[in-house]
Amino acid sequence: MPRLLTLAGSLRSGSSNAALLAAAAELAPANVTVAEYAALAGLPAFNPDVDDASHLTPAPVTHWRAALAAADMLLISSPEYAHGIPGALKNALDWVVGSGELVGKPVGVINASAASRFAFPQLIEVLSVMNATVVPDATLVLDIPRRGAGVTSLATDPVVAAALRRVLAALLAAVPERDGGSSTAAAVHSGPVRGAAE
């Protein structure tokens, strides 16, 4: 059963990007396991001195890396802050540059605002440099209300739902087949993946 991890780049309660990812989870095909990584705020600031063999890796970082390693594909939705990638999201990505959990992994990038003209291509560039497999048909900019965009309204909006289904289909198509073929089991939508430090 393919496993999708979703990651919102915003820490704000009621984030439209988080709502967009939750809508994508509701629309995921029945053979996909979906988990939300919800421990972004618990990651310490990246420090190369800590990220080496002579130091014990911080527990939240180990948890983040394990969540990525367990996923077959990743879907990110992120806002833009001051024409750039939000610091918390960039920090999370910095922690896996050297460890390599994103290498070769299919990644989709969606954005909830057409006004995000800088962070969106920046994020794709960072992921590409990290050797993630950024799936072109799973990169998408939508323009939804900044406030009050509910999960149900997004999942039932014909335009948004169709776009999210296309993103999910493109990600699934990019996942290498496992030995024995793909599973057709019923969906298992897990709860948020939270860190021990939360």
21 assigned to some structural domain: yes
> Residue by residue, what is the 3-state secondary structure of 98-120?
CCCCCCCCEEEEEECCCCCCCHH
190 assigned to some structural domain: no
192 assigned to some structural domain: no
186 assigned to some structural domain: no
pLDDT given for residue 181 in this prediction? 47
pLDDT given for residue 147 in this prediction? 66
Report the Cα 71 to chain-centroid distance in Å.
Answer: 10
Is the pLDDT assigned to residue 148 strictly greater than 70? Answer: no
* Rounded Cα distance, 22 and 10, in Å: 13
pLDDT band at residue 177, thresholds of 50, 70 and 90?
confident
- Give the number of other Cβ atoms within 10 Å of residue 24's Cβ: 27
Is the pLDDT assigned to residue 194 strictly greater than 60? Answer: no
Average pLDDT, the chain: 89
14 assigned to some structural domain: yes
Which of residues 114 and 39 earns the better pLDDT score? Answer: 39
154 assigned to some structural domain: yes
Mean pLDDT (whole number) for 101-125:
94
Mean pLDDT (whole number) for 104-125:
94
Backbone angles phi and psi of 30, in degrees to 5? -70, -15
195 assigned to some structural domain: no
Structural domain for 63, as ranges:
3-177
185 assigned to some structural domain: no
The model's pLDDT over 15-64, given as tens digits with 9 standing for 90+, comes to 999 999 999 999 999 999 999 999 999 999 999 988 876 678 999 999 99
- Answer yes or no: pTM beyond 0.85: yes
Is the pLDDT assigned to residue 98 strictly greater than 80? Answer: yes
Q: Which CATH number is 77's domain given?
A: 3.40.50.360
Domains identified in the chain, total number = 1
* Rounded Cα distance, 165 and 167, in Å: 5
Torsion of CA 155, 158, 159, 164, to 10 degrees: 40
State percent of the chain over pLDDT 90.
74
What does the DSSP 8-state code read for residue 52?
A: S
